[in-house]
Amino acid sequence: MRAGDGRLSHDLLPGDRGPQDACGVFGVWAPGEEVAKLTYFGIYALQHRGQESAGIAVSDGAQIVVYKDMGLVAQVFTEADLESLRGHLAIGHTRYSTTGSSCWENAQPTFRSTPNASVALAHNGNLTNTRELARRVAERVATDGRMPVATTDTELVTALLASYPDRSLEDSAVEVFRAVRGAFSVVFMDETTLYAARDPYGIRPLVLGRLDRGWVVASETAALDIVGASMVREIEPGELVAIDEGGLRTRRFAAAEPKGCLFEYVYLARPDTKIAGRGVHATRVEVGRRLAIECPADADLVIPVPESGTPAAIGFAQASGIPYGTGLVKNSYVGRTFIQPSQTIRQLGIRLKLNPLRDVIEGQRLVVVDDSIVRGNTQRALVRMLREAGATEVHVRISSPPVTSPCFYGIDFASRSELIANGLTVDEVRVAIGADSLGYVSLEQLVAATTVPASRLCRACFDGVYPVPVDEPELPERQRKHLLEQLEPIEPIEPIEPLDTPPPVHVLTRP
């Protein structure tokens, strides 16, 4: 099954992808509830964070059942599928690939059996020390004879968690997460316990919620709202949470050094999500206000590039006094298309997702508000389309600073050489996209709008300062995607007999 991806305003033209999210995770421990259905709705609420594949793992206390497939959440699961997934705890995942190719084998949750229990895991983020982890996996194979099939960083972590038969999964997790570098927010489980962990920098989000008869963990508070859970708190950076019949307990595997992703505020998170206690929509509106003050324009109408530019456009209109209007209509049913257009119709690609309202645009001087510029191809096509619809002037305003550096922590930006702001001045970018003027909000004003101190935010895509060292920061992202597949293959070793019979497990797949 193949399906679409992003809700991106950028992902409009072939070969012109904007930033892609790198997954949503959800976990629930709730005896007596239909945990598979709760998980379905939880990952449905997180669909914007990953659209390549979806999966759910459920345990009834005796065995773990995993169901996953390529496609959107609503395409992967039927009512009958969910009815068959019975238990008291579950985890779910929606995936966009940043490490490892987009295929069924790399869909999540991942699964490993051990002599004493089993582990299923779902991961949001991207690890920077995969070579070291691969070596550790090879060493564990040499000691216990278990041969992992690792083509993603998530598989490496799962293999390591399952490679300590003499320890509990909780103790293994503390050991493994101390060795992992990069960004990770994970939910995982054995037959009886739900676990959640967040890297010491807390780069990717993860929150804890409460049900009447259980607990929920999710990438965003919006997923808690959808399933009727109340927000308790964020999972702390460097924290491991375990939930079972004994209640909730927590352990710290590393000291917290908070560096939450600033781009979550710009684009990644849903507008109805809260980060650090503040609504994302309110933050984006405030960014738009500050953008209007920093980069004013003499114009007749403010229009957003829907949907990601809408809150900032509202704020820009409020602060500038220029009327707000809807000048572009978005086709909400278009995701990634796997049918490539011919060269003769390639220039029409933007109209697949956006079409101008000529009656609104004609004869107007426009301020067009978008969240970011990556390569610039889409903005160039958009400006041209607005002019063809009768706009007399097009002033582009961007609610983030220029993106000058790739992300190695879970957002699949273009490589450094493909980022238009990395090689051109603002005025050169303006000329390249054909706008009458171009303005970006400053990094200082964007940070101020979040109300979070700059020292607690990862701003690497804007300032090039990476809180977690990366092995090869100059390597293009598309090459890094296949890093694990390029590693030397691990020679299989004759497996040893397990001490005990592993718990039964059924992994369900579509034919």
Burial (0-12, 13-18, 19+ Cβ within 10 Å), 377 = buried
pLDDT digits (tens, 9 = 90+) for 195-216: 999 999 999 999 999 999 999 9
95: pLDDT strictly greater than 70? yes
Q: Share the mean pLDDT of the chain.
A: 84
Stretch 188-193: mean pLDDT: 96
The token duo for 27 is 């976990």
CA dist 113 and 116 (Å) reads 8
228: pLDDT strictly greater than 70? yes
Three-state SS sequence of 374-434: CCCHHHHHHHHHHHHCCCCEEEEEECCCCCCCCCCCCCCCCCHHHCHHHHCCHHHHHHHHC
pLDDT confidence band for 482 (50 / 70 / 90): very low
CA dist 467 and 162 (Å) reads 29
pLDDT digits (tens, 9 = 90+) for 285-315: 999 999 999 999 999 999 999 989 999 999 9
Which domains can be identified in the chain, with CATH numbers? 24-259 (3.60.20.10), 279-452 (3.40.50.2020)
- What is the structure's pLDDT at 345? 52
Largest CA distance in the chain: 78
457 residue type, one letter: L
Is the N-terminal amide bond of 234 cis, ω within 30° of 0? no
Q: What is the value of pTM for the model shown? A: 0.85
- For residue 212, the 8-state DSSP code is T
CA dist 388 and 278 (Å) reads 40
pLDDT digits (tens, 9 = 90+) for 25-61: 999 999 999 999 999 999 999 999 988 889 999 999 9
CA dist 292 and 79 (Å) reads 48
3-class secondary structure, 184: strand
Tokens 């096509």, located at residue: 381
488: pLDDT strictly greater than 50? no
Which one from 23, 261, 458, 461 is the annotated catalytic residue? 23
Q: Is 23 a catalytic residue?
A: yes
**Under a CB-based contact definition with an 8 Å cutoff, are residues 138 and 492 in contact?**
no
Share of the chain above pLDDT 90, in %: 65
The token duo for 251 is 């352990």
Contacts of 282 (CB under 8 A, 6+ apart): none
148: pLDDT strictly greater than 90? no
The token duo for 25 is 């995770």
